Amino acid sequence: MSDPDAEARALVAGHGDFAAGIVSAVGQITGRGDAFVPLSNRDMSAADVERAMREQVDARGLEVIFTDLPAGSCTMAARRLQRERPNIVLVTGTNLATLLDFVFHTDVPAVEAARHAADKGRAALVVTGGSTGGH
């Protein structure tokens, strides 16, 4: 169950339904999907993405932005915001493990939780199998 009184602590932005999908997954696993505000860049210009991001960050006082792809327009928009507001932390290459770690670290400031979450997300990428030994 989501906590109706919970406040969002970060923006999640990406291509297509990436943000809505990954936030939905966080909700299914932890019940804390409301910790994030999802944003899609679908059919938006770079200026539109930046404007939408700025509105959410300002309205909710967010200091953490998660994006999907380093080359993406959401990441570019977040970096432009960072120029005005150096306090904002941007994590790009976000995966589910990143966001799951973030929601469980409510005892530290969001920017600190974001850095910890990035480490977790990086470590969660694992490849197994695919043996070419042929035996």
Closer residue to another protein (CB): 69 or 96? 69
83 is a contact residue toward another protein (CB under 8 A): yes
45 binds another protein (CB under 8 A): yes
Q: How many Å apart are CA 66 and CA 38, to the nearest integer? A: 10
Q: Which segment (4-12, 54-62, 71-79, 102-110) binds another protein by CB under 8 A?
A: 71-79
Residue 94 binding another protein, by CB under 8 A:
no
**Spatial separation of the C-alpha atoms in residues 121 and 42, rounded to whole Å:** 25
Binds another protein (CB under 8 A): choice among 53, 72, 100, 103: 72
Report the 10 Å Cβ neighbour count for 115: 14
Q: Are 39 and 13 in contact (CB under 8 A)?
A: yes
Strand 36-40 versus strand 64-67 pairing type? unpaired
Which spans of this chain sit near another protein (rule: CB under 8 A)? Answer: 15, 43-48, 69-73, 75-76, 79-80, 83
